[in-house]
Structures are given as C-alpha cells and as structure tokens.
Amino acid sequence: MSRKGFFTDSTVCIGCKACEVACKQWNQLPDDGFHFTGMSYDQTGDLGCSTWRHVAFVERPVPLPGHDTGVGDFSWLMVSDVCKHCQRAGCLEACPTGAIVRTGFDTVYVQPDICNGCGYCVTACPFGVIDRRPDDGRAWKCTLCYDRLGEGMTPACAKACPTESIAYGNLDVLHERAENRVRQLHEQGIISAYLYGKDAANQPGTGGLNAFFLLVDKPEVYNLPPDPVVPTMKAREAWGAVAVGALGMAAVAVGAVLFGRRGTP
C-alpha cells in the first residue's frame, strides 16, 4: 500500500470546524463540555483524548500580506491541527506493550485493547498530541480514520472540509500539490508561506510528518514546536552526559581519597 497522509493548507481554512464535528461524529467521541476559553472563536482549546481535530484561531495585530481584508492592521490565522503521524514517532518508540503500531498505510495507530495506560507515549510526543482518558487511563489520538481507509474511504475530517483545506491522499502527490501551492502564494506576494514538516530534510527531528502543514507565520504562532525532536534521538547525547557526569564524580572521589592520604600524618 502507498503512504497516506494529510496536507493542511492554513491559508484556505475558514474556521468552520466541520472537521472537528465530522471527526467526533464518525469516531463517536464524547463532547468536551461547554467552556468559554476567551481565545477568539476557539472553544476547544487543544487536542486531547476526546478531540482529535482542533481548529485554532489566532488573532494578530498585523495584516496578512497579499490579502486586503478591509479591517486594517488585523488578521486571523486559522488551521486545523491533528496528530502528525510522524515518520519517526516518539509515541510508538516509547510504547512498552506494542499497543502503538505503524499501519500498512504508514500511519500511527493506538490499539486500545492493548494499551495499559502507562503514559510513556504522552511524554514522548514532541507535539503534545496523544492524551489519556481520565476514566481508564488509556491513550487516544487521531487514527487517520483507519477503519475508513481500509474501505477505500476518505477520512471524515477531509471529507467534510468545504474548502479542501484538509487534503488527504498519497504523500507523494500531496507533496507535489503543497509545493505548487507555496509557489502560487509566493507569486501572489505571500512570501511568508512555507511547508512545515513535509519531510526529513524539512524536519529531521521527526523524520518528516505524514500530516504536514502550509503556514504563513512562525510555528509557535500556531502552537506548533519550531524544532520538534523525538526523545530517542537525544538518547546518545543524554547517555554521553551521564557518562561525563559519572567520570567527573569518579575523579572527585579519587582526588578526595588521594588528598586524604597525603594529609594523613
């Protein structure tokens, strides 16, 4: 099977939240309650165990280049966030039970019947995507509608998106489409447009994302890490630091013994 994924173009997202609703409806996810966050029109807040798609609203006191909104120095940035299905997935590498697997579509899937709720995957995800439910402690996240893919269907969120901000398909095709879109925006004067997480060259800390994005501002503005790295990539560096620390402690201990001997009458 070919590699599947999402290309999310934030420049055509209208913030309708149809993707959020479709995701919850298809996956039978519970609601998150009704809370006023004060974050513009974003009442979801973030991704979580019961929210696998999250539409962010970012209000900025600057206009978007190339777009005359008629409201002066103000612009909205909107983007539908989701699990990235990383090529090098920190959650998968950290899972001790084999509950998290890579599917034949090259997506990352959590098997709820095997998950023991240890939470290692939660701390290993550099995007803070995966989350545990409070009732049983098991971890949950976007499955990229694995059950729909097996039937040749489009994931619910992409199917419901009215502007095709969320595009689903073969990654090679999506990469080409995304690069063409960036060139088009640059020609229109939106030179800030770029691709986030397209491949390993673009994001070496994760090996690239199977759900990548087109953004027009820094990742941090969208609540995305600028340089995400899976913890295991820093394992050698961490063990090296431990070794240096151990050698330093050993040297201090040896020095103390020798100094003690010299000082003995």
Which percentage of the chain shows pLDDT scores above 70?
A: 82
Query: Considering the domain 4-229 in this protein, what is its CATH number?
Result: 3.30.70.20
Any known ligand binding at 157?
Answer: yes
Q: What is the pLDDT of residue 259?
A: 66
pLDDT tens digits, one per residue of 69-124: 556 677 889 999 999 999 999 999 999 999 999 999 999 999 999 999 999 999 99
Is the pLDDT confidence value at 243 over 80? Answer: no
Q: What is the pLDDT of residue 265?
A: 54
Is the pLDDT confidence value at 250 over 70? Answer: no
Taking the model in full, what pTM does it have? 0.83
Cβ atoms of residues 35 and 200 within 8 Å: no
Any known ligand binding at 16?
Answer: yes
Q: What is the pLDDT of residue 73?
A: 76
Q: Where are the alpha helices (DSSP H) in the chain?
A: 18-27, 90-94, 120-124, 146-149, 156-160, 171-187, 235-262
Any known ligand binding at 49?
Answer: no
